[in-house]
Structure 1
Amino acid sequence: MDLPRTLGRYGGVRDQPVPRPLIILVGIAAAVVALFGLREVASIAGPVVLALVLVIAVSPVRSRLDAMRAPIWIQVAVPFLIVVLVLVGMVGILTISITELTSLLPAYAPEFQQLLADAQQWATTHGISNDLLNRGLEAIDPGRVLGLAQGLLGSLIGVLSALFLIIVLLLAMCLDAPVTAKILTTGEGNRPQLVTALAMFAHKTRRYLIVSTVFGLINATLNVLALTLLDVPLPLLWGVLALIANYIPNVGFVISLVPPALLALLDGGVQTMVLVIAAYTVINVVTQSFILPKFLGDAVGLSTTMTFISLIVWTFVLGPLGAILAIPLSLLARAVLIDSDPRAGWVRALVSGSRPRG
């Protein structure tokens, strides 16, 4: 037996490259397993990611305090308190507003029934089958709407428990932030591409959050003013909803519009609903379509298609919190899987929707 020839033959087989379709299939399978695994622990993964994003958002405050040579406990306490006050304030506003909404909805039951009767009469005069209309109206029950509002009120207990977990995670991450920053700095020599990708992820996430928050506050303020002028109940609740929905790409505007428009229909009729829709549309078009792109630019680095896909995927994995964190989560996945690999230039261009360099 010729041992060198045998070894060479086996060595040649061993040195053959792995087929690219096999690599793609294994990568897709690994992604599916990871996503379904995250879905099983969504109650933990969601708060962890939210805490991480919030720590990244306030990291410039810690950096400024560090440049001023402030004590470590101040560098930890100030960013932590900023985030906690914002979270507690928003949860407090939502709790009070949803409580008021729960007590307010039963008063609109007669208007709701009258609205359904008018719609049925209009449909009958235009030749629409009563059986078809009745089956559609059976799904619209004011009792179900009230039950939904009561369910929202009951779910606030879960929100408060998640808030406690988020605050604990925030404290832990704020304590570790100075050490983590030093570790990343020392890692530039060993894995410069990964360190650069993570730094770019933090920068893009922070810019996205700052710009989205500023324009979300502008949108929310203008919406509250418009709803107040139109005498729509609970304008503060719908303003907070508009602020939160501003972080949801593509469909956030519709989510923030539907509840106040329906309440305007019950409270003031079709004319009030049309005015609410018109006001929301004008405000959204001016701020989101004309002004926001000039400030945000290509900071996100995701194409329109990838943004929509990320919204679907992360909502499936983490629920409503995944919809809010879709952009930061996609930026994190891009940093770890794509930007850290210098050979993935074409994938980076495909994800961002721009031409590859070179």
Structure 2
Amino acid sequence: MRDQPAPRALIILVGIAAAMVVLYGIREVASIAGPVVLALVLVIAVSPVRGWLAARRAPIWLQVAVPFLIVVLVLLGMVGILTISATQLASLLPTYAPQFDRLLTDAQHWATTHGLSNEMINRGLRSFDPGKIVELAQSLLGSLIGILSAMFLIVVLLLAMCLDAPVTAKILTSGVGRRPRLVTALGIFTHKTRRYLIVSTVFGLIYAVLDVIALSLLDVPLPLLWGVLALIANYIPNIGFLIGLLPPAMLALLDGGVQKMLLVIAAYTITNVVTQSFILPKFLGDAVGLSTTMTFISLIVWTFVLGPLGAVLAIPLSLLARALFIDSDPSAGWAQALVSGKLPGG
């Protein structure tokens, strides 16, 4: 008797259930999985440096040490800037309590003149407590301390992956005859991830520098902190611009009123439109290979699984998942078209 194939609906349901189990499992070990993925992505980003040194027959120790030191210095510099700036922010916010109270009073007066009931206004005012801003700053400091504690694990993983990178590359090359689709898919993943990171970083730095200059000219406190935040938020798809904009805009509102806030919003919007909307797509091209819908879903899923770090790594993680489960499967051409938003051959 001939075996009957399993119903397609059953296969889909089992696949969804398996994916949920895997995602929840990763979520339970997010404190380990997040640094592992971050280290992998950073090693991929600096792999051209190792390739350049290998082409010039540099010693193996130099091929390992140079990319490793580049990544570590960048990480330490960013964490140092964030730590110092966040400490200054925590001491600065309480001084804005009078301005915060005045803004709430003005907002209450405006709402009353436009027909809102006092009960609704009082309910909204109870949710705006200046003390909560201080608590938010303190929680930010706590998160930075957590990042510092995870830095040791990230650095160790970076060193291990840098040491293994030459051997790993040879092993992948040797697998072309056995698993050509998988090796090709992983090669495409590393190429797209590296191109995405390098181009996004270059334009993120330009965007951050322009924001720092604008904030300095507008005399908004802690411009360097908001510049680093804009750089980090640049890696978060779809909503990164708003994440980088809201804190300095709110601080500008407390420091100089509505006019300064609107100037900050205008400056951020202009620099974002110029760098991210007009120039970046010409250089990035089709490096990501994910549709707008899939990019947004990736952001939601990986943020749920890995927290804030998942939001930053949403694109590389989705590219890795695509390489393992779609690009390596010769019968998944329709899935490639679905996630990329392009017809096959288009």
Name the amino acid aligned to 2:178.
Answer: N
CA shift, 1:155, in A, is 2.4
Gaps of 5+ in 1: 1-8
Q: Determine the C-alpha separation between the residues in 1 that align with 2:140 and 2:339.
A: 36
Q: 1:322 aligns with which of 310, 313, 322?
A: 310
Corresponding residue number in structure 2 for 1:108 = 96
Q: Does 1:29 align with 2:14?
A: no
Deviations 1:91-126 (A, max 9, x none): 000000000000000110001001101111111111
Q: Does 1:57 align with 2:45?
A: yes
Q: Determine the C-alpha separation between the residues in 2 that align with 1:217 and 1:156.
A: 21
CA shift, 1:357, in A, is 3.3
Q: 2:223 aligns with which of 235, 244, 258?
A: 235
Larger Rg: 1
Corresponding residue number in structure 2 for 1:4 = none
Gaps of 5+ in 2: none
Q: Determine the C-alpha separation between the residues in 2 that align with 1:49 and 1:302.
A: 19
**SS of equivalent residue, structure 2 residue 342:** coil
Corresponding residue number in structure 1 for 2:117 = 129
- Kindly report which structure 2 residues correspond to 1:268-283, keeping only aligned pairs within 5 A, or say none: 268-283=256-271
Corresponding residue number in structure 1 for 2:325 = 337
**SS of equivalent residue, structure 1 residue 300:** coil
**SS of equivalent residue, structure 1 residue 189:** coil
- Kindly report which structure 2 residues correspond to 1:181-196, keeping only aligned pairs within 5 A, or say none: 181-196=169-184
Deviations 1:66-100 (A, max 9, x none): 11111111010000000000000000000000000
Q: 2:244 aligns with which of 225, 245, 256?
A: 256
Q: Does 1:117 align with 2:105?
A: yes
Corresponding residue number in structure 2 for 1:284 = 272
Q: Which runs of 4+ in 1 moved over 2 A?
A: none
Deviations 1:235-283 (A, max 9, x none): 0000000000000000000000000000000001100000000111111
Q: Does 1:172 align with 2:160?
A: yes
Name the amino acid aligned to 1:47.
Answer: P
Q: Determine the C-alpha separation between the residues in 2 that align with 1:230 and 1:134.
A: 33
Cα RMSD after superposing both structures: 0.8
User: Do the aligned residues in 2 keep the contact of 1:345 with 1:357 (CA within 8 Å)?
Assistant: no
Q: Does 1:311 align with 2:306?
A: no
Q: 1:38 aligns with which of 26, 43, 56?
A: 26
Identity %: 80
Corresponding residue number in structure 1 for 2:344 = 356
Of 124-133 and 220-229, deviating more is: 124-133
CA shift, 1:22, in A, is 1.2
Q: Does 1:215 align with 2:184?
A: no
CA shift, 1:154, in A, is 2.2
Name the amino acid aligned to 1:124.
Answer: T
CA shift, 1:197, in A, is 0.2
